[in-house]
């Protein structure tokens, strides 16, 4: 079974480990991520004003290409790409005036025919977490996991529709299916600082510190995320956090596909953990997740 797949730019560079693990896990689970032909960047941001139509030309073209290649679904792993494609598709479905301006500009006929799915959503709704649980080879027993959603995977809820914006459970249900223990912590849907890391590192450091401290205070061993920017901020900001807060102790931040791969018994040495600033392997070995 093949699902059309949009990797996006960052999954070919900084977040390649998110992509590689996702592709390998899909084969273990009985489906294949079939990469779109000749895809382009989604733009990485969705326009916040209604008359900024040109910004939607890129993601609309991606969706139109998906349709023209004979597909009615499109899967992505990156929560940024998911947010942009999902919200663009919502406009194409529901706003006739904006749709006409965008499709006229790119000279394509597209009316929102493609369903945009996040990989987590595919596992929940298409494969089923019960089936996923049956395919787990090495349950993540004893591993306490903080499921960090961030902003873009859930918001705005009327356009995204993946889960509750305030009290989501899809990530926690995923971890339970892998045999791990999801830890509830109050900052799981708070912002990590996002692009503030470019021009206000202090802001990103403060936001990341609050999230990580909350996760650790609630007993987490590791934080997982779906977002390359969130992973970067939460992982790379930890030395700065330690400088301003000597009592802070580090915590690994990994992609959800990496934990999925470990549960499916894929080799840890192939999962790109060496790219993490905070090495997760000592913890994973201590917990018996990695030998």
Predicted TM-score (pTM) of the model is 0.96
Burial class (CB in 10 A: 0-12, 13-18, 19+), 280: buried
- State phi, psi for 85 to the nearest 5 degrees: -65, -40
- DSSP helix/strand/coil, 3: strand
One domain for residues 163 and 108: no
Strand segments, DSSP code E, in the chain are: 2-5, 32-35, 73-76, 115-118, 144-147, 181-183, 222-225, 253-255
Q: What is the pLDDT along the chain (291 residues), one digit of tens a residue?
A: 999 999 999 999 999 999 999 999 999 999 999 999 999 999 999 998 888 889 999 999 999 999 999 999 999 999 999 999 999 999 999 999 999 999 999 999 999 999 999 999 999 999 999 999 999 999 999 999 999 999 999 999 999 999 999 999 999 999 999 999 999 999 999 999 998 887 888 899 999 999 999 999 999 999 999 999 999 999 999 999 999 898 899 999 999 999 999 999 999 999 999 999 999 999 999 999 999
Tokens of 169: 């459970």
**pLDDT tens-place string over residues 79-127:** 999 999 999 999 999 999 999 999 999 999 999 999 999 999 999 999 9
Coil, helix or strand at residue 137: coil
Q: Are residues 134 and 114 in the same domain?
A: no
Q: Are residues 74 and 171 in the same domain?
A: no
Within this chain, do residues 163 and 101 fall inside the same structural domain, yes or no? no
**Taking a C-beta distance cutoff of 8 angstroms, is the pair 217, 142 a contact?**
no
- Residue 228 belongs to domain spanning: 129-286
Evaluate whether residue 234 is within a structural domain.
yes
Same domain flag for 92 and 134: no
pLDDT at residue 49, rounded to an integer = 87
Question: Quick check: is 138 in a domain?
Answer: yes
DSSP-based three-state secondary structure for 286? helix
We report the CATH number of the domain holding residue 244 as: 3.40.50.11810
pLDDT reported for residue 52: 87
Same domain, residue pair 109 and 191? no
- Asked if residue 115 and residue 187 are part of one domain, the reply reads no
Residue 68 resides in a domain: yes
Q: Which residue carries 């403060």 as its tokens?
A: 206
User: Residue 142: what pLDDT?
Assistant: 96
170 and 141 share one domain = yes
Instruction: Give CA–CA dist 24/33, Å, rounded.
Output: 9
State how many domains the chain has. Answer: 2
What pLDDT is attached to residue 192?
A: 96
The answer as to whether 124 is a domain residue is no
């Amino acid at each position: 079974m093949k699902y059309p797949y949009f990797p996006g730019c960052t999954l070919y560079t900084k977040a390649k480990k998110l992509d590689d693990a996702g592709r390998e896990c899909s084969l273990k689970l009985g489906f294949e991520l079939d990469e779109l032909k000749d895809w382009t960047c989604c733009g990485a941001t969705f326009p916040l004003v209604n008359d900024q139509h040109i910004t939607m030309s890129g993601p609309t073209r991606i969706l139109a290409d998906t349709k023209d290649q004979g597909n009615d679904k499109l899967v992505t792993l990156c929560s940024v790409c998911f947010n942009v494609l999902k919200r663009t598709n919502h406009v194409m479905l529901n706003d006739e005036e904006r749709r006409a301006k965008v499709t006229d500009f790119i000279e394509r006929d597209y009316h929102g025919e493609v369903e945009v799915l996040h990989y987590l959503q595919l596992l929940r709704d298409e494969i089923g977490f019960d089936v996923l649980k049956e395919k787990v080879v090495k349950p993540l027993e004893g591993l306490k996991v903080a499921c960090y959603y961030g902003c873009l995977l859930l918001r705005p809820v009327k356009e995204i529709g993946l889960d509750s914006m305030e009290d989501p459970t899809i990530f926690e249900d995923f971890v339970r299916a892998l045999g791990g223990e999801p830890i509830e912590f109050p900052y799981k849907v708070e912002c990590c600082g996002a692009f503030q890391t470019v021009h206000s590192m202090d802001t990103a450091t403060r936001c990341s510190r609050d999230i990580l401290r909350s996760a650790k205070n609630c007993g987490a061993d590791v934080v997982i995320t779906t977002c390359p920017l969130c992973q970067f901020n939460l992982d790379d900001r930890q030395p700065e956090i330690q400088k301003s807060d000597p009592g802070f102790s580090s915590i690994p931040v990994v992609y959800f596909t990496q934990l999925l791969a470990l549960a499916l018994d894929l080799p840890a040495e192939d999962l790109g953990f060496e790219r993490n600033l905070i090495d997760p392997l000592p913890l994973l070995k201590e917990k018996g997740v990695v030998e």
